């Protein structure tokens, strides 16, 4: 296959790409948005990155995030503490939103990356890859760890005047995690996996015929 | 050549090109690769976006008037709204943080709503002008969408850290709930808007261009 027809998702222009397996990015000639990218070694990079992300996610949630000392009183917080206190105060909406965007969605995304790229790394296309890819696609805007990092910095400045703040192990792990997740988002290219699925579907059809 | 003229639609999940049946008005097909419903355009995109934009404007009023959090100390209770938080930072000299909060919780939501309203009106007027710029504005609303959550997270972290029983304690205010709703509803509104509507030309314009090519 040396020619490839792509449709721009922003302006609906049909674009013919001469050699789609060339390294690089293809932009729409009409509106200029990115319509296709291809990069070798996507799977080989994504697999170790998702393992690293899972380890860092576990570290982030196990150790205390920040400790706060005021006049002999110490309070420690990790990711789940704020959700817990919000639920105690019956702030269900806020609690659920924070639970979903900072814990559940990022965890599901990391696990799906692992389940998807683990088998791919060893040369198998996982059976439920269509479902994995769909969930990954729909959950992209709802994982908000990067926004949470900015929130942490702002509240640090707010609290510094009230007492002593000691950053915990998990804060460093969390900062690494945000950078790794950003790198994964750049490298991740579902189009390449969709093409693999297409090829597999075609092979299956030929066998049954 | 545009895909709509060839009766081809793009599957929004797996980016497969799907041929749609041409006879029905509200037509859709199932994507042969991933099984999602594929429509030519997001169905009722304009109505849904308008409704969500209006809802978030309504939520935006109490989000700014009601307090984001209550700070209980032995000296009494103090309540902070978004604007009073910004003013507090300005008075104490942390200009960078004041700017971050001001941009994230006041500039970003208002810009997003104004851009969406402008896009909706311009699509309704249906004139093929500034299409590239309008597309850039739309991409901007998608990117900045989630960054207004900063203020909600700040409240959550403060609640988790300042928790010393009777000595000092922070509670979430009613404004935080409304602000959260503003953020989520505007994000959904931006998702429901179909940017391809910007590029769909009215029939008159299509004919004019065809004549131009001929003559």
Are residues B130 and B175 both part of a single domain?
yes
- What does the pLDDT look like over B101-120, one tens digit per residue? 888 888 999 999 999 999 99
Do A162 and B162 lie within an 8 Å CB cutoff? yes
Strands (E), A42-134: 66-70, 73-77
Please indicate, yes or no, whether residues B7 and B63 belong to a single structural domain of this protein.
no
**B22 & B73 share domain:** no
Please report, for the domain that includes residue B148, its CATH number: 1.20.140
- The predicted-structure confidence for B154-181, as pLDDT tens digits, reads as follows 888 888 888 776 677 888 888 899 999 9
Which of B92, B159, B180 has its CB closest to that of A82?
B159
- Has residue B73 got a pLDDT over 70? yes
Contact A203, A69 (CB under 8 A): no
Q: Which residue in the set B34, B157, B200 is minimally distant from A134, CB to CB?
A: B34
The residue written with tokens 């009215």 in the block is: B202
| CA angle, B206 then B209 then B210, to 5° | 85
Residues B3 and B67 in one domain: no
Which chain A residues are Cβ-neighbours of B34 within 8 angstroms? 130, 133-134, 194, 197
Same domain, B35 and B49: no
Q: Provide the 10 A C-beta neighbour count for residue A70.
A: 17
Residues B140 and B208 in one domain: yes
- C-alpha to C-alpha distance for B17 and A203, rounded to whole angstroms: 19
Q: Do B31 and B91 belong to one domain?
A: no
Residue in A3, A6, A7, A196 to test binding to B, most B beta-carbons within 10 Å: A7
User: What is the pTM for the complete model shown?
Assistant: 0.87
Residues B121 and B200 in one domain: yes
Residue reference for tokens 């810009």: B111
Is B99 found in the same domain as B34?
A: no
Number of domains into which chain B is organized:
2
The confidence score (pLDDT) of residue A170 equals 87
Predicted pLDDT at B215: 62
Residue A1's pLDDT is what?
40
What's the ipTM? 0.85
Higher pLDDT, B208 or B196: B196
Looking at the structure, tell me whether residues B63 and B17 fall in a common domain.
no
User: B117 and B35, same structural domain?
Assistant: no
Are residues B22 and B111 part of one domain?
A: no
pLDDT of residue A53: 95
Q: Name the residue range of residue B140's domain.
A: 44-214
Mean per-residue pLDDT pooled into runs of 10, chain A (209 residues): 72 81 82 83 92 94 82 78 86 90 93 93 89 91 89 84 82 92 91 87 78
């Amino acid at each position: 296959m040396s020619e490839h027809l792509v449709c721009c998702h922003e302006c609906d222009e049909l674009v013919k790409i001469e050699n789609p397996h060339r390294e690089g990015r293809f932009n729409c000639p009409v509106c200029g948005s990115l319509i296709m990218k291809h990069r070798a070694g996507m799977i080989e990079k994504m697999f170790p990155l998702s393992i690293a992300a899972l380890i860092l996610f576990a570290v982030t949630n196990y150790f205390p995030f920040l400790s706060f000392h005021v006049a002999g009183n110490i309070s420690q917080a990790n990711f789940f503490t704020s959700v817990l206190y919000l639920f105690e105060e019956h702030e269900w909406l806020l609690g659920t939103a924070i639970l979903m965007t900072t814990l559940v969605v990022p965890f599901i995304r990391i696990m799906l990356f692992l389940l998807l790229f683990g088998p791919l790394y060893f040369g198998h296309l996982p059976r439920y890859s269509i479902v994995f890819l769909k969930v990954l696609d729909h959950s992209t805007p709802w994982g908000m760890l990067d926004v949470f990092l900015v929130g942490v910095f702002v509240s640090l400045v707010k609290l510094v005047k009230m007492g002593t703040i000691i950053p915990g192990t998990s804060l460093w792990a969390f900062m690494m995690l945000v950078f790794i997740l950003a790198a994964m988002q750049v490298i991740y290219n579902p189009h390449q996996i969709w093409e693999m699925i297409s090829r597999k579907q075609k092979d299956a059809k030929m066998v049954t015929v | 050549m545009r895909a709509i003229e060839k009766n081809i639609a793009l599957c929004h999940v797996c980016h497969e090109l799907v041929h749609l049946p041409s006879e029905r008005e509200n037509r859709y097909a199932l994507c042969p690769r991933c099984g999602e419903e594929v429509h030519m355009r997001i169905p009722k995109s304009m109505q849904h976006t308008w409704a969500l934009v209006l809802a978030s404007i309504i939520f935006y009023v109490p989000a700014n008037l009601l307090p984001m959090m209550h700070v209980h100390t032995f000296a009494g209770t103090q309540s902070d709204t978004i604007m009073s938080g910004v003013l507090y930072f300005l008075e104490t000299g942390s200009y960078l943080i004041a700017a971050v909060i001001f941009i994230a919780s006041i500039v970003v939501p208002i810009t997003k709503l104004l851009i969406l309203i402008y896009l909706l009106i311009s699509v309704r007027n249906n004139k093929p002008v500034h299409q590239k710029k309008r597309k850039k504005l739309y991409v901007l609303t998608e990117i900045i969408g989630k960054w207004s959550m900063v203020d909600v997270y700040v409240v959550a972290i403060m609640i988790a850290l300042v928790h010393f029983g009777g000595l000092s304690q922070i509670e979430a205010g009613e404004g935080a709930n409304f602000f959260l709703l503003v953020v989520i509803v505007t994000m959904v509104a931006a998702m429901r808007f179909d940017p391809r509507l910007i590029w769909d030309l009215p029939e008159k314009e299509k004919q004019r261009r065809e004549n131009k090519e001929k003559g």
